[in-house]
Amino acid sequence: MRTLQEITELLNELERRIADELEDQDLDFKQWDTKSMDKSVKMLVRTAVCMANGGGGTVVFGVADKSLGRATALQGVPLEVDVNLLKKAVYDQTDPKIMPVYEEMRIPEGTGRLLIMQIYPGLPPYTDTSGTGSIRIGKDCQPLTGTLRRKISVETGETDFSAVPVAPVSSELLSPTAVDTLRRQVKAERAPEDLLKLSDKELLTALGLVKNRQWTRAALLLAGTEDALREYVPGYNWTFLQMMSDTGYGIREDRVSALPVSVRRIEELLLPFNPITTIEQGMFHLEYRTWPEIALREALMNAFCHADFRIAGPVMVKYYNDRLEISNNGGFIGGINPANILHHQPVARNPLLVEALTRLRLVNRSNLGMSRMFSSLLREGKEPPVIQEIGDSVTLSFMKRELAGAFRMFVAEENELGHDLNVDNLLVLQYLVKHIEIETHAAASLCQRNEVQMRESLAGMEKAGYIEHGGTGRGFYWVLRPELYRRLSEDGHPERDRRIDWEAAKTRVLSVLMERARRGENGLSNQEIRQITRFDRNQAFRLMMELRSENPQIKSPGKGKLAKYEYAGNP
C-alpha cells in the first residue's frame, strides 16, 4: 500500500517519466472517463477486483498513464463524483464483497482532485457479480482463468498438496537414513530440544504431519523411503548434471530421496566444483568458497519447498563452467516475481511442509532466506543470484566469480566497527564499484524498493561516509566517495576521473548538434542521444539539462516522440 506522501513523490516524477513506468504490482494509475460516469464506475469495479486478487494495492484515479508531464498527465477526477457512491458500487458489484478505502489528494492541475483507492489483502478469488474476474500480475490485469483460480487456491492454502493424508502411519514407510540426516541437520540448526527428544513417530506427529492416523505427503517428503515417495508423491525427484556444454554432460545423478538426504547429497556432488579461496586478514587466514554454503543451502531448500509436485519433473541442478543453475517446477505465486522477491511477504506453495521445516529451523518464514542468500554473495564482492520465471518453473542462477578481497575486507572491518551493511547497502556499493554513478530511481529498481524508501537509504549511506551526491533536482545522482573507490577498485589502474565519461558525452553531443545545425539538418532526439552516449533515458535527460544550462543556444525539444534538441547559435 502506498501512502499519500509516497504518491506525492511519485507524481513529481511525471515531468521525466510517464505514469506507466512508475506502476508496480501494488500500484496502478487510471484515467477517469469524464464523459461517462457509468464507464468510470465499471472501470473502478474491474480495477478493484484485479487488485484484490493480486494481493491488494493502491490505485490512483485521474492520471493519464501514457502522458509525460504533470500538466498533461494529471487530469483529475470531477469534483462532483461522490466517494460514498463509489464505495457502494464496488461493494454491490463484487463477490465476495470488496470494501476499498478512498482518500482524496488535491493538486493544482486538471480538476484539482485525485482519488486514491486502497485495496487491502483479503481471501481471493474475487469476481464481479456476473462472475467475471481478473488478477494483477506485475503491471497488468490478466483474466482469472481456471489455471489462475487454481493458483490462488494454492496461495490461500485451500489446496495444500503436502497436507493430504496418503498412507497409514507405519515405520516401514520411514527411511532410517532420512530420519537420521534430518535429526543431524536439525541439531546443527539448534532446533528446540523438546522436539529432538521425541521418537520418530512422535516428532512427525508433533510437527503436524499426521492426520487421521495417516502420514501426510509432507511427512514422507521429510522422512519417507524411496518406495513410499514413488508411490505417494509420484511427481517428486531430482537430477544433478555436470554440464560440459549446453547439450552435453559428464556426471549425472537421478534420485528419489527424502528432502534432507537430497539436499545433503547435492551439496556433496557440488563440493569438487565449489573450491575454497583463502585471504589473509592480519594474523588470520580466512577461507571462502566460490558459492557460500549458506547461499547454496537456501537455494536448494527453496527449490524443494516451493516445487509443485503435481507437475511431473525433477528439481534440476546444473553445474556449468561459469554458473550454477537450480530450478523447480511451479512458477511464482502470491504476486511474487523476480523484481520484488527480496521484500515481498513470503507465500508457501506447500504450507504444511514449510511450517514443519520452519519449526525445525531449516527454513525461515520471515523472508530472510532470500536476503541471506543475496548478502552472503554480495559481502564477498560477487554478483547476487539471477532469478527467472520461465513458464511454470523458476530458475535461480549463481554466476561463478572470484572473491573480491578488497571488498570482503572492507565489509569485515565495517562489521567490527558495528556497521552492519544490509542488502541495499551492498547492492549499491557493488554497483558503484563497477559503474560511474547511480540515480535514485535506478537504485530503487536495483534494491526492489520504492523511491521514497531508496532516497532515505541513500541519504543514510551518505551520512555514513560511503557515497556522495551531485546534481540538483531531477539531475540528482550518487557516486562512491573517492577514497572508498580507490580502496575497493581492483582493476589495477589509477583511479579514473569518474566524471570524464560524462563531460566527454556532453562534448560529443554538443559537437553533433552544432554539426547538424551547420548542415541545416534536424537536431537530436532523446533516443538518438542515448545511442550516442550509451546512457539510459534518465541519464540522457539529465545530461541535456546540464548541457542546456551551459549552452543557452540549445533549444528546448518540446514534447512527444518527434521532439528534438536543436542548436540555434552560430555553429
Q: Note the pLDDT tens digit of each residue in 271-285.
A: 999 988 887 766 667
Output the pLDDT for position 471: 64
Cβ-contact 352, 209 below 8 angstroms: yes
CATH of 160-403, one of 1.10.3720.10, 3.40.50.880, 3.30.930.10, 3.30.565.60: 3.30.565.60
Cβ-contact 119, 94 below 8 angstroms: no
- In three-state secondary structure terms, 291 is coil
**Considering only the top CATH level, what class is 4-155?**
alpha beta
Give whole-number Cα distances, 318 to 243, 248, 423, 556, in Å. Answer: 6, 11, 27, 53
Output the pLDDT for position 495: 42
Output the pLDDT for position 153: 64
> CA neighbours within 13 Å on the CB side: how many for 444?
15
Closest CA to 352 of 147, 167, 204: 204
Output the pLDDT for position 558: 76
DSSP 171: G
Give backbone dihedrals phi and psi of 291, rounded to 5 degrees, phi first: -120, 120
Cβ-contact 105, 58 below 8 angstroms: no
Q: Which three cell numbers stand for residue 558?
A: 518540446
Task: For cell 511464482, name the residue.
Answer: 332
Task: For cell 486514491, name the residue.
Answer: 116
Q: Which three cell numbers stand for residue 170?
A: 507405519
CA distance 540 to 245: 40
Helix (H) or strand (E) holding 68: none
- Hey, CA dihedral for 171, 174, 178, 179, is it positive or negative? negative
DSSP 488: H
Question: Chain-centre distance of CA 563, in angstroms?
Answer: 34
Task: For cell 554466476, name the residue.
Answer: 399
Output the pLDDT for position 492: 41
Query: Does the bond joining 125 to the residue before it have cis omega, within 30 degrees of 0?
Result: yes
Residues of the chain with CATH 3.30.565.60: 160-403
Residues of the chain with pLDDT under 50: 491-497
- What burial letters (b/e) apply to 376-385, b meaning 16+ CB within 10 Å? bbbbbbbebb
- CATH for 500-567 is 1.10.10
Question: Measured at the alpha carbon of residue 14, what is the angle toward residues 8 and 16, in degrees to the nearest 5?
Answer: 135
Output the pLDDT for position 496: 45
Output the pLDDT for position 493: 43
Closest CA to 535 of 455, 442, 450: 442
Write the secondary structure of 213-258 as one string of H (helix), E (strand) and C (coil): CEEEHHHHHHHECHHHHHHHCCCCCEEEEEECCCCCEEEEEEECCC
Output the pLDDT for position 105: 95
Q: Where are the beta strands (DSSP E) in 414-559?
A: 467-470, 477-480, 554-555
Residues of the chain with CATH 3.30.950.30: 4-155
Cβ-contact 390, 328 below 8 angstroms: no
Q: Which three cell numbers stand for residue 101?
A: 478505502
Give backbone dihedrals phi and psi of 215, rounded to 5 degrees, phi first: -70, 135
- CATH for 405-488 is 1.10.10.10
Output the pLDDT for position 534: 73
Cβ-contact 571, 518 below 8 angstroms: yes
End-to-end CA distance of the chain: 52
Q: Where are the beta strands (DSSP E) in 348-449?
A: 386-390, 393-399
Residues of the chain with CATH 1.10.10.10: 405-488
Helix (H) or strand (E) holding 458: helix 451-463
Question: Measured at the alpha carbon of residue 482, what is the angle toward residues 479 and 487, in degrees to the nearest 5?
Answer: 110
Output the pLDDT for position 281: 64
Cβ-contact 238, 326 below 8 angstroms: no
Give whole-number Cα distances, 145 to 104, 207, 273, in Å. Answer: 34, 35, 44
> CA neighbours within 13 Å on the CB side: how many for 75?
18
Cβ-contact 163, 80 below 8 angstroms: no
- Residues 46-56 have pLDDT tens digits of 999 999 988 89
Question: Measured at the alpha carbon of residue 322, what is the angle toward residues 319 and 327, in degrees to the nearest 5?
Answer: 40
